[in-house]
Amino acid sequence: MNRTVIMGFLLTLASAFFFAVSGPIAKTMYEVGWTPGSVVLIRLAGSAVLLLIPSLIALRGRWDEVRRNWKTVLTYGLVSMAGVQGFYFVAVEHLTVAVALLLEMTAPMLIVFWIWARTRTRPATVTFIGVVVSMIGLVLILNLRNSDISIFGVVMALAAAVCLASYFLVSAKDSINVPPVALTGLGMGVGALAMSLIVLTGVMPSGAVAADVDFGGYQVSWILPMSMIVVFTVGAYITGILGLRYIGATVGSFVNLVEVPFSVIVAWLVLFEMPAPIQLFGGVFILGGVGFIKWGESRLARRVASREVVVRAEELVQV
């Protein structure tokens, strides 16, 4: 394994860890009176400020691309940034971090059905196996015998999954020539503006308390966890972008699945929170199902590519 691949794996692992940490840290702030609306607003606004200069540098001489793709940038900010983070952080308020994240991880399953409906291209058989396995895991995660699970939290987590599916679809578009760092920065800015309106109109109540936070049994100033959320968010996107450039989207999506165990470990250390055994078992099914789905996607891509090669060869022969 060469150094480039190793670097890609390390950067992608770092990105997964940074993303995983945000949920547990945000939940520590809920305990002292912060609301999801305030946490998401500061997270988006702070990230937009940190990415401002890198975005401006990346966009030098490329503002025409932003104007041509303004609808995509707007959708990216509203759905992929404000939507994903807003719904997920509300879900975390009502569910354990691991359960909320695992429900959000059903996004690849939604993408399969969306692409099938749009392209009329039947997914690979292994993809259907992955969907069935993920559905079994979803039922186990919901733990229907446990009446304490929040239905509202489940709905919010699944809404986050829908928004996450949109994030993957938009990010994978080859026709968008806006640099990834700039697209992320612009998306954060749009998301921050949208979240400001949501908070000001009372759709998501705002609440912030300048009090110490219980952080894994230690009392720390609220500034520390809030700063960590912002810095880790920027770090997650930057390391993720760099990592995917080294190892590619397919391999990177598999490596990114470690976000779930990372999240479970951090939630245990910071919140002393663990999902029920049956939910952990369901998590294994969901991750396994996502793995099958990703495998099916790669097999389908190779099959389509081989067909295109055959068609081009036949055209050349006819000429």
What's the token pair of residue 57? 């540098």
Which pLDDT belongs to residue 156? 94
> Which range is least confidently modeled, 189-203, 208-222, 264-278, 299-313?
299-313
Which pLDDT belongs to residue 206? 83
Which pLDDT belongs to residue 319? 45
Which pLDDT belongs to residue 178? 80
244-264 mean pLDDT:
71
| pLDDT tens, residue by residue, 213-228 | 988 888 999 999 999 9
DSSP string over 200-216: HTTSS--------EEET
What's the token pair of residue 77? 């900010």
- Local confidence band at 197 (pLDDT 50, 70, 90 cut-offs): very high
What's the CA dihedral at 281, 282, 288, 291 to 10 degrees?
A: -140
Which pLDDT belongs to residue 130? 81
pTM: 0.79
Residue 180: exposure state from Cβ atoms within 10 A (0-12, 13-18, ≥19): middle
Which pLDDT belongs to residue 249? 59
Say how far apart CA 138 and CA 154 lie, in whole Å: 11
Q: For 119, phi and psi rounded to 5 degrees?
A: -100, -15
Of the candidates 86, 72, 82, 83, the one whose C-alpha atom is nearest the C-alpha of residue 191 is 82
Q: Mean pLDDT for the chain?
A: 81
Residue 218, H or E segment: strand 218-220
Report the 10 Å Cβ neighbour count for 181: 18
| pLDDT tens, residue by residue, 79-115 | 988 998 899 999 998 888 888 888 887 787 787 778 7
Which pLDDT belongs to residue 315? 45
What is the longest distance spanned by two Cα atoms in the chain?
76
What distances in angstroms separate CA 26 from CA 14, 18, 196, one per listed residue? 19, 13, 18
Residue 8: exposure state from Cβ atoms within 10 A (0-12, 13-18, ≥19): buried
Which residue range is the domain that position 127 belongs to? Answer: 3-318
Of all residues in the chain, the percent with pLDDT exceeding 70 is 85
177-202 mean pLDDT:
89
Residues 6+ apart with CB under 8 A from 144: none
What distances in angstroms separate CA 106 from CA 103, 169, 253, one per listed residue? 6, 14, 13
Residue 191 has pLDDT above 90, yes or no: yes
Residue 75 has pLDDT above 70, yes or no: yes
Say how far apart CA 32 and CA 35 lie, in whole Å: 9
What's the token pair of residue 53? 């200069």
What's the token pair of residue 99? 């359960």
DSSP 3-state of 217: coil
Number of domains in the chain: 1
